[in-house]
Amino acid sequence: MLHRYGKTILYLAAAIFMSLPVVSCRSTSHTTHTYRPYHERRNRGVAPHDDTPSVSDPHKPTPGGNGLVSDEWAQLDIKLGRNDNKKLYKELKRWLGTPYAHARQDCGEGTDCSGMVMVVYQEVYGIKLNRNSAKILEQNCRPIDLDDLREGDLVFFFTNDEERISHVGIYLKDNKFVHASSSRGVVVDDLRQNYYATHFYSAGRVLK
């Protein structure tokens, strides 16, 4: 009886084994995996050739030449903290987008670099600066290292072959600074951009 049941169990086991799918035991060392780009993996529900235009994110920076122009600091990828000078940012926000105009300092209408810096410092700090970028560094500032830059400090550049100071901007944070570009008006740029890194002259802290 036991022998008969044993044979029955063996037959059942063999039948089950034969019904299983065949699995290849070949080496997988040469298996090729295809990785989808990040934007495709992120949008799994979108067809690979979907031509529907994407909706622009209103919180992303808006490019303007080599820098950024915007009406909102959130769009400039600048996160304000509780210790940031809100008065400074509020005043500079008024100037963003002001077109460049030599020898002027009129918010929203036209300004050059030193004109904007002079007015902003008068409004925010009650400090009167010179009307010339080179003289601002010479008479109103003490030079500081790049590593010591903090909100409200000034950054100076040379834009000619003689390497004399000819441009100034106001430092914000995270390598960003505001200045009046001769081609784009008042914008926010990054000190690490090739042009500004190449033409950087000095950083300065305004004397109280």
Which residues does the annotation mark as catalytic?
113, 167, 179
CB 144 within 8 Å of CB 205:
yes
CB 173 within 8 Å of CB 151:
yes
Name residue, tokens 């740029």: 189
Beta-carbon count within 10 A of 203 CB: 22
CB 101 within 8 Å of CB 109:
yes
Q: Three-state DSSP class for 11?
A: helix
Whole-angstrom distance, CA of residue 185 vs CA of residue 112: 8
Residue 48 DSSP symbol:
T
Residue 20 phi, psi (nearest 5): -70, 150
